[in-house]
Amino acid sequence: MKKLGWDRIDILLITGDAYIDHPSFGAALIGRLLLEEGYRVGIIAQPEWQNPESVKILGIPALACAVTSGNLDSMVNIYTAGRRFRRDDAYSPGGKTGKRPPHALTVYSQLLKRAFPGMPVVLGGIEASLRRVAHYDYWQDKIKPGVLVDSKADILVYGMGERATVEIFRRISEKKSLRGIKGTAVLLGKNAASDFMAKEVSEYVQLPSYDEHLNNRDAVMTSTVTVEREMNPYSGKGLYQLCGERLLVVESPALPLLPDEMDKVYSMPFSRMPHPSYREIIPAFETVKDSVCAVRGCPGGCSFCGLVSHQGHFISSRSHQSIIDEIKRLVKMKVFRGTVSDVGGAAGNIYGHGSFDKEKCKKCRRSSCLFPEKCPNYNAEENSLLQLLEKIERIEGVKHLFINSGLRLDLALLQKKQTRELIKKHISGHLKVAPEHLHPEVLKLMRKNKADDFYEFLDFFYEESRRAGKEQYLVPLFISNFPGSSEKEMKVVDDFLNSQNWSPQQVQDYIPLPMTMGAAMYYSGKSSDGKTISVNRGLKERRPQINMLKKKRKRSFSK
């Protein structure tokens, strides 16, 4: 502040992660964006949440405060699938735990309300997205209201928040109403709720109330189906939900950024480094420091994934030139050693994808472009990524270029030219793939590929690796205890691993993330079409499937 000549800040941004000035971290991106808009922004990372004085060290902001729990939901960050404390925190210096509170959005917001009475507080990030309406919280094993209720914040941003964030702070600075901003939610008091019901209700879709969620397990499923149906930013409607005498109003999703808008965001002057005050390694930064985000959104719509209700399935890709310019800046950094570790997003083989007819997509209500079959309007073209990789390889100083985001198997088999090139030149010895399961009924519940896709890809991968003269390894991810997967279904995975004599390098026991279809199935014990399914709940019930994946076999995932 002294160097910039600021006597005070306009906006105070609180984050549950260590501060890393890299576009992969939401607090840095939003902070930079608001700076570009002319606001004086200060960031306090991981404040002492028991002490209101910890958020006062930059003074009283002139306009408002903004809060994110960080790049993960705070409960996922703190607790395992077994509801036990994690041993480390990848987003904290030294991987140390205890730097953020559970339900961080609520705790930080209440902290700010005590420290700065009357100051507007804006919530955003993945935790805000996944908890914007009444939801099931797995770790507390209870129904929670939308996070605005407990946090007392003034407005919530969900999804990729650039558009909404800029509009919110413009209105705050002009002392205008925060109602009606796409990609946001507000909680109305009794009088405002009555006015809404009298004048605006016909333009919105009703969700089951918070009380209905408490009294009827099926309400979570009804709510989840409705939220997914209205996630199209072009045709989806806003939602409303009664919370006692108050009314939660969720506006329709914000439009995705256009390529030139994404280019502008990623051209901001990020240092791409942790704050210089840190003396210990931050594990999450080490993972992404030499990577480039090329694409947003995910066409898969997997029922266990939070991206469905956060980024949605509309894909936005940056231009070739934007990505090349970022890598040229990366190459000039003293810490760069010649390897670009990743150029990707939710998957490594979705860059440049879109639709043949955009108008059809604008009316679509599907939650997945690829399940149960690939939409005929989905354009899985492969030349954009291939051309981009060729251009990056020609940049002086780039010795190696890898794709580490993981590949969608269904797309990889449709894009064999591209997949062949990736296997030949752009795999760092290991390739991540996510079959998740091998039983057909469980795969349907997951909205995942057919098991045959995995088997076909195995053969293709090893044959292409052999042709390239390389010994390369697959790193597949399987999920245990997904709703609908009993020991009988999981034995299909176990039998396959035994037949190959393989031990997975990564084992993921299922975690029901708030507002996902998987969480609705876990809580209700039913699939989305109302059929009863088996659900393993306690650790005693979950242990057998975990042990199937952890079983020691002679080989790791290689052939």
Q: What is 278-327 written as a DSSP string?
A: --S--HHHHHHTTEEE-EE--S---TT-GGGTTT-S--EE--HHHHHHHH
Q: Which residues pair with 526 in a beta bridge?
A: 532
Task: Provide the pLDDT for residue 559.
Answer: 46
Q: Are 88 and 27 in contact (CB under 8 A)?
A: no
Residues found in the chain: 559
Residue among 461, 315, 317, 287 at smallest CA distance from 388? 317
Residue 379 DSSP SS3: strand
440 C-beta neighbours (distance < 10 Å), count = 12
Q: Are 303 and 516 in contact (CB under 8 A)?
A: yes
One DSSP character per residue, 385-429 reads: HHHHHHHHHTSTT--EE---S-B-HHHHHH-HHHHHHHHHHS--S
Strand pairing report for 378-379 and 184-188:
unpaired
Task: Provide the pLDDT for residue 552.
Answer: 77
The string over 50-89, giving b where at least 16 C-beta atoms fall within 10 Å of a residue's C-beta and e elsewhere, is eebeebeebeebebbbbbbbbbbbbbbbbbebeeeeeeeb
Strand pairing report for 41-45 and 246-250:
unpaired
Q: What is the rounded distance in angstroms from the CA atom of residue 44 to the CA atom of residue 116?
A: 15
Q: Are 203 and 182 in contact (CB under 8 A)?
A: no
Q: What is the rounded distance in angstroms from the CA atom of residue 281 to the CA atom of residue 75?
A: 22
Domains of the chain: 11-250 (3.40.50.280), 289-405 (3.30.750.210), 429-559 (3.30.750.200)
Residue 249 DSSP SS3: strand
Residue 135 DSSP SS3: strand
DSSP label at 72?
S
Q: What is the rounded distance in angstroms from the CA atom of residue 10 to the CA atom of residue 178?
A: 18
- If you search the block for the tokens 């439009």, which residue do you land on? 255
Residue 504 to residues 326, 436, 438, 493, 511: CA-CA distances in angstroms? 35, 12, 14, 11, 18
One pLDDT digit (tens) per residue for the chain, 559 residues = 999 999 999 999 999 999 999 999 999 999 999 999 999 999 999 999 989 899 999 999 999 999 999 999 999 999 999 999 999 999 999 999 999 999 999 999 999 999 999 999 999 999 999 999 999 999 999 999 999 999 999 999 999 999 999 999 999 999 999 999 999 999 999 999 999 999 999 999 999 999 999 999 999 999 999 999 999 999 999 999 999 999 999 999 999 999 999 999 999 999 999 999 999 999 999 999 999 999 999 999 999 999 888 888 899 999 999 999 999 999 999 999 999 999 999 999 999 999 999 999 999 999 999 999 999 999 999 999 999 999 999 999 999 999 999 899 999 999 999 999 999 999 988 898 889 999 999 999 999 989 999 999 999 999 999 999 999 988 889 999 999 999 999 999 999 999 988 888 777 999 999 999 999 999 999 999 999 999 999 889 999 999 999 887 766 554 4
Q: Are 89 and 110 in contact (CB under 8 A)?
A: no
Q: What is the rounded distance in angstroms from the CA atom of residue 255 to the CA atom of residue 457?
A: 35
Token pair listed for 547: 């042990």
Helix (H) or strand (E) holding 518: helix 517-524
Which three-class secondary structure string do you get for 80-92?
A: CCCCCECCCCCCC
Where would I find the H helices in 136-242? 147-151, 162-173, 190-199, 210-215, 218-229
Q: Which amino acid is at 371?
A: F
452 C-beta neighbours (distance < 10 Å), count = 12
One DSSP character per residue, 328-371 reads: HHHHTSTT--SEE-EEESSSTT-TT-EES-HHHHHH---S-SSS
